[in-house]
A and B are shown apart, each in its own frame.
Chain A
Amino acid sequence: MSHIDTSAYLNRWRKKSLAEKSLLAFGMLLIAVSVSSWQAALLVAALMIGATLFGAGVAFPLWWKTMTVPIGFLFAGVFTLIFQVQLWHIGIAPHGLELAGRVGARAFAGLTCLLFLALTTPAADLAAGMRRIGVPAEIAEMMLLMYRFVFLLTDTAETMNAAQAARLGHITYRRHMKSLSLLIANLMPRALARAHALEIGLAARGWRGELRVLSPVRRASATGLGVILALEVLVLLFGLYTS
């Protein structure tokens, strides 16, 4: 969680406009899942990996570390497509390999699109973007506060976990589970106390029920959007041609 966030703030494309980044990510995602050509899916994946690693400058080890878990799920899911179960035996399904390959390629391409967005755009920017396109302010504010509290609470949980380990709270499986339940039970009142303290802190700054801040506006350039659209049309044509 935390390394995704770090990358979102420190990558080269942090200051690119949200519109450009989301057009690229969601446009490519749409092509990958709607066009049946596996060649197009691989092209999308290659482009998005290129954009993430060479465009935004995300380090490969970090990209790979974030990718391993979803790839694991993807592999497990696709693997089962190869086989078919009949009454008395399990066998390779007709076209099973081909089907697995197609689905796998498209899902992988979709992953690269979402990962691109996650690694280049802070969650707070996404929340601000949602507010701009008409999502109610309350929901966007809730997202913002949850985002902020996730880090405070994970820090607290990590500290408590270390403190429990230091007093041998994890010595057996039973103790470990007991300690974990205590930790979870203790996080609740802490979270409430934190929320109360934050309310006092915000009141001291003149808060009257609305969390308004000045977000830096990053204007999307017409050329940027144009280039992305043109690229997507080319990929789409390639996909239609090869399918």
Chain B
Amino acid sequence: MSLLEGRALVHVYPGNVHALDRLDLRIERGRRLVILGPNGAGKTTLMLHLNGTLRPQAGEVRLDGQLMGYDTASLTAWRRRVGLVLQNADDQLFAAAVAEDVSFGPLNLGLDESETRRRVADALAAMHISHLAERATHMLSGGQKKRVAIAGLVAMQPEILLLDEPTAGLDHEGTEDLLAVLEELERSGTTLVFSTHDAELAYRFADEVALFEGGKILAQGPIAATLSDADLVKRAKLDTPFLLRLGLRARELGILGADEPLPRSAASALRLLDLVGGQSTL
């Protein structure tokens, strides 16, 4: 049974725009899933359905196999377990200081003051921003705002954290730092789901991919196998990640055995090259 599941979701915007067209998606506990698709495919719309912000015009969302409702009690329970980080951090931060803002979610969960303080401290530490606790929200950089926005949800300790284009607007270092803290978060038991249009990033970071285009999930499965299907990738208006191409070619040439893992980082790809260099000097 999937942890969170969308079944035959339909959402049509005015003007007959089919953002979701009988879409199916499964999120498994502990599997890092990336929702990969071009800009304008409707990734944000899908995300908003997964935490109950938008209600599908047809279809259903199930959490732990349970059909989710849209009354206040159900939505409260839903959002307690499924956190959503919006693409624009400014849409999520409202309080004047960082620690105050992070305390908002735990207080909404009905936690008392001491527990809230503990959660805030833990969340700030998890995102490596304890030193920003007293700072004014509007004086932070883009990357810092992003982390505060994520900390605001981490403090609610959701089982699933949905991140809409988390690396948008971040520079190289900001992206690497963010991915590193997300990995730490995952080790503490949070299931990560993020959306992106960047196939390279997706290939490096995710276990599983859902290819999203034209309102449908074209395919969902282990990332290397799914993205190896060139035809499928093309239909999703994407390009096969360079690292994956390199790895597949290395297998073709016999440099890499069929059961050896494909390189997932620049460093491991370079080691592959060292291997070839070593052979040619023999």
Q: Which residues of A contact B (CB under 8 A)?
A: 5-6, 9, 122-125, 144-145, 147-148, 151-152, 194, 197-198, 200-208, 211-216
Q: Which of B76, B91, B134, B139 has the most CB of A within 10 A?
A: B91
Q: Digit string of B132-157 for contact with A (CB within 8 Å is 1, else 0)?
A: 00111111000000000100110010
Shortest distance in angstroms between B157's beta carbon and chain A's nearest beta carbon?
12
Say whether B86 contacts A197, CB under 8 Å: yes
Say whether A144 contacts B94, CB under 8 Å: yes
User: Please, which residues of chain A bring their CB within 8 A of the CB of B107?
Assistant: 212-214
Measured between alpha carbons, how far is A125 from B96 in the docked complex, in Å?
Answer: 9
Measured between alpha carbons, how far is A144 from B104 in the docked complex, in Å?
Answer: 14
Q: Digit string of B59-93 for contact with A (CB within 8 Å is 1, else 0)?
A: 00000000000001000100110011010101111
User: Main SS of the interface on chain B?
Assistant: helix
Question: Out of A148, A202, A211, A212, which one reaches B138, CB within 8 Å?
Answer: A148
Q: Which residues of B contact A (CB under 8 A)?
A: 48, 51, 53, 72, 76, 79-80, 83-84, 86, 88, 90-97, 99-101, 103-105, 107-109, 113, 116-117, 120, 134-139, 149, 152-153, 156
User: Please, which residues of chain B bring their CB within 8 A of the CB of A208?
Assistant: 72, 76, 108
Whether A205 contacts B108 in the complex (CB less than 8 A), given A5-B136, A200-B53, comes out as: yes
Shortest distance in angstroms between B51's beta carbon and chain A's nearest beta carbon?
6
Whether A215 contacts B100 in the complex (CB less than 8 A), given A204-B83, A208-B72, comes out as: yes
Say whether B53 contacts A148, CB under 8 Å: no
Question: Out of A123, A124, A201, which one reaches B92, CB within 8 Å?
Answer: A201
Number of A-B contacts (CB under 8 A): 107
Say whether A206 contacts B76, CB under 8 Å: yes
User: Please, which residues of chain A bring their CB within 8 A of the CB of B105?
Assistant: 205-206
Closest partner residue, chain B, to A150 (CB atom): B138
Shortest distance in angstroms between A143's beta carbon and chain B's nearest beta carbon?
10
Say whether A216 contacts B99, CB under 8 Å: yes
Q: Which of A151, A201, A203 has the most CB of B within 10 A?
A: A201
Say whether B99 contacts A205, CB under 8 Å: no
User: Please, which residues of chain A bring their CB within 8 A of the CB of B80?
Assistant: 206
Say whether B84 contacts A204, CB under 8 Å: yes
Measured between alpha carbons, how far is A198 from B101 in the docked complex, in Å?
Answer: 13
Say whether A200 contacts B116, CB under 8 Å: no
Measured between alpha carbons, how far is A208 from B117 in the docked complex, in Å?
Answer: 20
Measured between alpha carbons, how far is A205 from B92 in the docked complex, in Å?
Answer: 9
Whether A205 contacts B153 in the complex (CB less than 8 A), given A200-B91, A211-B104, comes out as: yes
Shortest distance in angstroms between B119's beta carbon and chain A's nearest beta carbon?
10
Say whether B117 contacts A214, CB under 8 Å: yes
Q: Give the top 7 A-B pairs by smallest Cβ distance, nearest first.
A: A124-B96, A206-B108, A201-B92, A214-B103, A197-B91, A213-B100, A204-B84
User: Please, which residues of chain B bring their CB within 8 A of the CB of A203?
Assistant: 53, 79
Q: Which of B86, B117, B149 has the most CB of A within 10 A?
A: B86
Q: Could you jot down 8 A-B contacts, CB within 8 Å? A: A124-B97, A144-B96, A198-B92, A205-B108, A205-B152, A206-B105, A212-B107, A213-B95
Say whether A204 contacts B134, CB under 8 Å: no
Closest partner residue, chain B, to A198 (CB atom): B91
A-B contact sample (5 more), CB < 8 A, given A198-B91, A211-B94: A144-B94, A205-B104, A205-B105, A206-B108, A216-B134
Say whether A151 contacts B138, CB under 8 Å: yes
Measured between alpha carbons, how far is A185 from B138 in the docked complex, in Å?
Answer: 24
Whether A213 contacts B48 in the complex (CB less than 8 A), given A144-B96, A203-B53, comes out as: no
Shortest distance in angstroms between A165's beta carbon and chain B's nearest beta carbon?
23
Measured between alpha carbons, how far is A216 from B136 in the docked complex, in Å?
Answer: 13
Say whether B104 contacts A9, CB under 8 Å: no
Closest partner residue, chain B, to A207 (CB atom): B108
Say whether B79 contacts A205, CB under 8 Å: yes
Measured between alpha carbons, how far is A154 from B99 in the docked complex, in Å?
Answer: 24
User: Please, which residues of chain A bring their CB within 8 A of the CB of B156?
Assistant: 205-206
